[in-house]
Structure 1
């Protein structure tokens, strides 16, 4: 009983800390003069991450297996993965906007898990025979980490689209050959190209410029971050799909059965494969790949949650149907 009380406290506390952290990030973004707000937001993100990790650890001790056997546990694991990813990226590049656009997603996930799920879906229960396998940790954890990275990368692309609005953006050189994050210094083009701005030395152009240099710098960083984070999540997704196929063959005697979950995993893989291919295509830079990444954000959610709740396949939780 004490463990149940602890879990209830941890899931509610993680939600409220993420809600407060989101508001702090938003205030810090709206009022840049409040220079200590980003640090406070990062602190809140770390606290929320530790609360979720403690909750998952308690579930692990309670059930005796890796806490990814039901929707409640996987939602909190996803929220933990998202907060971990954004905190690492934020510490590397120092852009508080990452937390401002990412924490609402983690907060919404914890709210859904804490408030909306029926109580019987939150209870830790013995594993069904098909889940009593080492593949549970190997396949599901890798898939959830890939979802986390792909969601954060896609949100960066959506933020890029919002900042650049309807501007004609072309960021050539942002995908390959840079080796690291680009210097964000700006310098003006010659007068015969007065509507164009050159970003650093990587042949990255932003045309039809109606944005401030600060917004251009931020858009450039978000575009680069999106590409690199998705570039991390895509191999994880590939490994997770392969591991899932091997596990399916072991459990059900078939590597691939076109289950709704498997189908949408393939669709998600194809969307992000198209995005990564577009990023190394000369005429596909800037907004068009970002739109693909934004579509990938929707595909991940359908793959993870949509088919689980609404489908009738082997991976379905069957809450709505």
Structure 2
């Protein structure tokens, strides 16, 4: 047992070191894109981070005979694992390395917090309370956290969109599904002008063409990732309702966690509705997704600190 604990500590340290190394390599790759070795190192160290976190969660699963999602420590580690896995899937399919430069800092912070800031007693595994002794633990909680991870990545890209386009009026018109992963789609009718630019200036006076292409790609990538996360969130809420009925005899009790999960669902449902039916693109949906990022954290952690309800035992998230 002591050897396993030592290996867990080593894996925690390795996960933190690999995550911060990967973050730096992704940042250096942005600064020096011609040095291909930087991107390769970033991808390899992020894979090592995944392996380290997987070992920690897997070993707890084997030792304690339950899926490791029963407390704050395990939940945050699973969130970091989910962020890394979604990042890898998106990076592989869309060949876009900018995602790693904005996701790895968040992963590094989560791993550092769980490994070095959480009290030791909160990192220890404890027997499951009766309500958690169910197969729904794996189904509901894992899907919810994976949906949080996916929606966070999409929302962070929207925040990045707002940062890059700050001080400029951006209006992107066209099909919201017109993004081609490998070959950027330049068929959009873009009208972008700097707030400080003269009225008669052309499009390049407000923003360079490569920036226009970058904003177009970020906007569409954010939309696609949120479109993936929303069904996961819906499935997680439905499975939670079924589990609640099995455990407490009611599908919905307006518990703080349930209420904020519903608010999160409504925020991203509104985002997708405006994208699909009103063809919103650019700053308006990006602002909505950015608000959604904050709402996710309130739902995920906030209600556990400030609210009392059925989901507070054991720091279940």
User: Structures share a fold, TM > 0.5?
Assistant: yes
2:138 matched to which residue of 1? 137
- In the other structure, the counterpart of 2:184 is 184
Q: Which runs of 5+ in 2 are unaligned?
A: 194-202
Query: Which residue of 2 is the match for residue 10 of structure 1?
Result: 11
Q: Quick one: distance in 2 between partners of 1:282 and 1:204?
A: 16
User: Aligned partners of 2:238 and 2:29: how far apart in 1?
Assistant: 42
CA root-mean-square deviation: 1.7
TM-score (norm 2): 0.91
Match of 1:156 in 2: 157
What CA distance in whole angstroms lies between the structure 1 residues aligned with 2:164 and 2:183? 19
Which residue of structure 2 lines up, in the alignment, with residue 299 of structure 1?
295
Which stretch has the larger CA shift, 229-238 or 24-33? Answer: 24-33
Aligned to 1:308: 304
How far is 1:5 from its partner? 1.3
Per the TM alignment, residue 38 of structure 1 is displaced from its structure 2 partner at its CA by 1.4
Q: Which digits, 9 at most, give the CA deviation of each residue in 1:166-192, with x for residues without a partner? A: 22222222424x38548326xxxxxxx
How far is 1:160 from its partner?
1.2
C-alpha distance in 2 between matches for 1:276 and 1:33? 36
Name the CA distance, whole Å, in 2 between partners of 1:139 and 1:283.
32
Task: Give, in angstroms, the shift of residue 309 of structure 1.
Answer: 2.7
Q: For structure 1, which segment, 167-176 or 3-12, has the greater mean C-alpha deviation from structure 2 after superposition?
A: 167-176
Aligned with 1:280 (options 257, 276, 294): 276
Cross-structure match for 2:24: 23
Q: So what's the TM-score if we normalise by structure 1? A: 0.90
CA distance in 1, matches of 2:127, 2:267: 36
Q: Give a deviation string over 1:182-209, Cα, whole Å, max 9, x none.
A: 8326xxxxxxxxxxxxx22xx4424224
Q: Which residue is equivalent to 1:195?
A: none
Tell me, in whole angstroms, the C-alpha distance in 1 between the residues paired with 2:175 and 2:98: 20
Q: Within 5 A, what are the aligned runs for 1:52-63?
A: 52-63=53-64
**Aligned residues between the structures:** 303
Q: Given the alignment, which residue of 188, 205, 217 partners 2:190?
A: 205
